[in-house]
Structure 1
Amino acid sequence: MILGIQRSVSIDQAGLRDVTAPFFSHAWEQRKLRDYLVPSKEKNSALSYGKDEVLSVSGDAGVVNQIQFQGRSYAGASTKDYGVVQTGDVIYTKSPLKKNPFGIIKTNKGKAGIVSTLYAVYKPKDNTYTPFVEVYFDDDARLNNYLRPLVNKGAKNDMKVSKSGALTGLICFPGATEQRMLSEFFQQLEDLITLHQRKLSHLQQQKKALLQQMFV
C-alpha cells in the first residue's frame, strides 16, 4: 500500500537547517518493519568485547554504555552469548517501562559493544538509515501501538516475542535519503534542546548564588 503524504518541516528563529530543500514529494510506503531490518546473528563468541563494553538501552538516553550510565556492569559470568551491537544497529529491549509497557526500540549511535540475550539486535537493509528508526519510534503512542499486537506478556510480566516476530508489524517510512535528512533535522532539535537546558541550568545556579549573596 502506498500512502501519499506531503511533508514540509521548517522552524524559524531556531538556527535549524530547512529540510524541505529539496522538497520531498515521494509517497511514504506502508510495509512491514522486516522490509527494513534483519535480525543480527553476530555474537561475542570470541570474547572480542569485555564487560566494560556492555550496553544498556534507556528510554531517554538511548543506547548507552552500562558502566558509564549505571555506574557498574550487570553482565553475567560469561558474555559469550551476548549479541554484538555495531554502530548503526537497532536494538529492541523487551524490558517494560512505565510509558512503554512493551519495551523500546533504539539505534546505537555510539561505539560498538554487546548486549545480553534479553535484547534483540537488528542490522539495516540497504533502504534503511537506522537513526530514522529511532526517530519514528520516539513517539510513545506510535511505539506502543506497533508493539502491542506483537507482544504477549508472560506471568512474570516478561515479553514473549521472537526477534523476527518483532519485525512483523506495519510501519510507514519514506525513502532512505529522506530518512537521513529527517533524522539530521531532529538531531539538530535535540542538540538545540540540550543547549538551552544547559543555559537554563547555568542561569538557575547564577540566580541561586546571587540570592545567597544578597542576604549575607
Structure 2
Amino acid sequence: MTWEQRKLGSIADRVTEKNTSLAESESFTNSAEFGIISQREFFDHDITNKENIGNYYIVRPDDFVYNPRISVTAPVGPINRNKLGRNGVMSPLYTVFRPHDVSNTYLEYFFKTSRWYAFMQFNGDSGARSDRFSIGTDLFYEMPIPVPSFNEQDKIGRFFANLSDLITLHQREIKVQKRIKLWRII
C-alpha cells in the first residue's frame, strides 16, 4: 500500500487550552534526552509556582510537545509524547498538539528520527538566541509527515517500541555486569 504525505495540521490539532482555573499544578518540561518529564524530577524543584502557571498550556496524556530549545541531540528542538499518564502544564514557549487519525506510537518514533529536520531547517531559523529555534506556528503545522496505512503504522510503531525496550534491557544488563565486576575487584 502507498504512503501518503500529510501535513501535521491534518493529523493533529493545536492545543490552546490554558490553565486559567489553575486546575493543574504540575509543570512539565520537554527534554531532548528524557522526553516529557516533571520539572520536579528534571530540575530537582519546580521552576514555576501556582501564581505563574495560569497562562500555561494543559498537556494531557499522549499529547505531543515541541520544545524549540536546540541541543546536540536535537538540532531543531525535540518533539516528544507525554507518556507520563497524567495531565500537567507546559510553558507557552512550547507548542502542544494532539494527534488524531494517526498512531501515536508511529508518530512518536517518526519524531525520534531526523526526517523532519530538513523541513524545519528550511522554514525556520535560530533567531536572535542561538539556543532557540524559531518557526511560525502556522508553518510548523505545514510539516509533511509520511503516513502509511493504519495497520502499517501500528506494525512500525510496535517494532520500534519493542526495539527500544530491548535496547533498554541490554543497557541495564551492561550496568549490572559492570557493578558485578566492580564488586569482584573490591
Q: Would you say same fold, with TM above 0.5?
A: yes
1:90 and 2:64 correspond: yes
Equivalent of residue 123 in structure 2, options 134, 146, 150:
150
Structure ID, larger Rg: 1
- Does 1:115 find its partner at 2:90? yes
- Which residue identity does 2:27 align to in structure 1? V
What is the aligned partner in structure 1 of residue 110 from structure 2? 136
Q: Alignment length, in residue pairs? A: 183
| Partner residue of 1:199 out of 170, 173, 186 | 173
Q: Distance in 1 between matches of 2:14 and 2:147?
A: 19
2:31 aligned with 1:58: yes
Residue of structure 2 equivalent to 1:27: 2
Inter-partner Cα distance in structure 2 for 1:104 and 1:143: 11
Consecutive unaligned residues in structure 1, runs of 5 or more: 1-25
Aligned to 2:14: 39
Gap regions ≥5 residues in structure 2: none
TM-score by structure 2 length?
0.90
Residue 124 of structure 1 pairs with residue 83 of structure 2:
no
Moved beyond 4 Å, runs of 4+: none
Could you say which residue in structure 2 is the equivalent of 1:8?
none
Question: Match of 1:169?
Answer: 143
Equivalent residues of 1:54, 1:114 under 8 A apart = yes
Q: Contact 1:100–1:144 at 8 Å: present in 2 too?
A: no
- Are the aligned partners of 1:33 and 1:167 in contact in 2 as well (CA < 8 Å)? yes
RMSD: 1.7
Mapped to 2, the partners of 1:70 and 1:175 lie a distance apart of 40
Instruction: Quote the Cα distance in structure 1 between the aligned partners of 2:47 and 2:145.
Output: 33
| Conserved 8 A contact 2:5-2:147 | yes
Partner Cα distance (1:54, 1:103) in 2: 19
Q: Does structure 2 retain, via aligned residues, the 8 Å contact 1:150–1:169? A: no
Displacement, 1:181?
A: 2.8
Identity across aligned pairs (percent)?
Answer: 28
